[in-house]
Amino acid sequence: MAKVTFLPENRTVEFDLESLPYSEHGKPKSFLDIALHFGIHLEHACGGNCACTTCHVVVKKGAEFLNEMEDDEADRLDMAADLQLGSRLGCQAHFVRDGEVVIEIPSWNRNYVSEGGGSINLGDAIPAAKR
Ligand code: FES
């Protein structure tokens, strides 16, 4: 069995790895796949395609049960706010074997959600005249 605790919500879900992927979004057996299946909110602006950083999570425990970070994930993660030791993209980090993992959704992401922010930062896409 595999187990994930999502902080700060402190919600733990347990499942049989063989029953994954749930085939929602992100890599098979990824945190995003798992979060969506269990109704846990994890931003995923790009739909789990390693093209944003909104699914940023910090692995607090159990990194040994996850895949090694690949270059595309590392490159994308470099752009994430509040980068920490243990930072991963929730749509790219996935289980490779049974184990217990604890992850935290960084406050930057949580605040972003609670403020009702859109999923994409439009930045300069808004014409200067309308700002
Ligand atoms: S959802 Fe966009 S990189 Fe993970």
Domain locations in the chain as residue ranges:
2-118
Going from the Cα of 39 to the center of ligand 1, the distance in angstroms, rounded, reads 17
Give this prediction's pTM: 0.82
Contact 46, 68 (CB under 8 A): no
Please, which pLDDT band fits residue 2 given cuts at 50, 70 and 90?
Answer: very high
| Ligand 1 touching residue 27 (CB < 6 A) | no
Going from the Cα of 61 to the center of ligand 1, the distance in angstroms, rounded, reads 21
pLDDT score recorded for residue 121:
42
Phi and psi angles of residue 13, each rounded to the nearest 5 degrees, phi first? -125, 145
CATH of 2-118, one of 3.40.50.970, 3.20.20.70, 3.10.20.30, 3.30.110.30: 3.10.20.30
Going from the Cα of 93 to the center of ligand 1, the distance in angstroms, rounded, reads 11
pLDDT, tens only, 91-123: 999 999 999 999 999 876 655 544 444 444 444
pLDDT, tens only, 57-78: 999 999 999 999 999 999 999 9
For residue 130, is pLDDT > 80? no
The reply to whether omega before 106 is within 30° of 0 (cis) is no
